[in-house]
Amino acid sequence: MTFDWTTFALQLVNVLVLLAILRHFLFRPVAAIIAKRRAETQAALDAANTARAEAEAATARAHTEAEASAAARAGVLEKAEADAEEQRRKLLSSAHAEAERIIAEGRAALTRDEAAATARRMAQLRDLAAAVATRALAAQPAGPQGYADRLAATLRAMTDSERAALLKGGNLQLVSPDDLPAATLKAAQDALSNYGATAQLTQDPDLIAGLELRSDSGVLRNSLAHDLDQISSAMQDDRASA
């Protein structure tokens, strides 16, 4: 066995050359691509961390804005409630004033209406009174003698039974508002005597004018007061039916 120094030298050179070749064509490119991938991975991680930080900051900002919005909303609501309350108060005050004005106007109108109604009623009463008086006066006979004549005519117009019931009733009286003239009283008593009855004269100022025959069983109306009542009742019935 010998040691070939030439081969040793060549192999030494060969390995050094191979070292240079592999360093250039294998290890450097592979190490570079590994470093590049690590850099990209680190960049992606940094970007992800940055994005996460930004997302967290955005979330914090969103929370802050949400809280601010909630506070603003509460403020707006509170202001709106205050405004609404103020508006309600104003409306109520205005409504009260308007109601009071309407009530005052109503009361004034009522007062006016009542005055007008009273005036109308007074006018109606005046008209009624005038009509009643006109009618009554138109239906009245002329003077006490006329009443005596109308009493006699009424007696004659009554049926025998009605007349007998009136005349036999007892306490038979001739009633006038004041003293009658003698002729008139005589004429009235004569008319009674035709049927066998007598009566004393009594006075009743409420009759106003006229001559009535009263007994315990009835009254023969023949007076201005009675006519006024009759006419007034008839006119009130007519107004009611109208």
Positions touching other proteins (CB under 8 A) are 1-12, 14-19, 21-23, 25-34, 36-37, 40
Cβ-contact 224, 146 below 8 angstroms: no
Q: Return the axis-axis angle of helices 28-139 and 224-241, rounded to nearest 10°.
A: 150
- Lookup: tokens for 90: 């104003």
Of 8 and 96, the one with the shorter C-beta distance to other proteins is 8
Of 37 and 120, the one with the shorter C-beta distance to other proteins is 37
State the nearest-atom distance from the C-beta of 6 to other proteins, in Å: 6
State the nearest-atom distance from the C-beta of 3 to other proteins, in Å: 6
Of 17 and 77, the one with the shorter C-beta distance to other proteins is 17
Of 4 and 238, the one with the shorter C-beta distance to other proteins is 4
State the nearest-atom distance from the C-beta of 7 to other proteins, in Å: 4
CA gap 212, 150 in Å, rounded: 10
State the nearest-atom distance from the C-beta of 21 to other proteins, in Å: 5
- Lookup: tokens for 194: 């035709």
Q: Checking DSSP bridges between strand 212-215 and strand 218-220, what pairing results, if any?
A: antiparallel
* Cβ partners under 8 Å of residue 203, min gap 6: 175, 176, 177, 178, 179
Question: Across the chain, where does the E strand assignment appear?
Answer: 173-176, 200-203, 212-215, 218-220
Of 26 and 102, the one with the shorter C-beta distance to other proteins is 26
State the nearest-atom distance from the C-beta of 63 to other proteins, in Å: 39
Q: Return the axis-axis angle of helices 182-193 and 143-157, rounded to nearest 10°.
A: 10
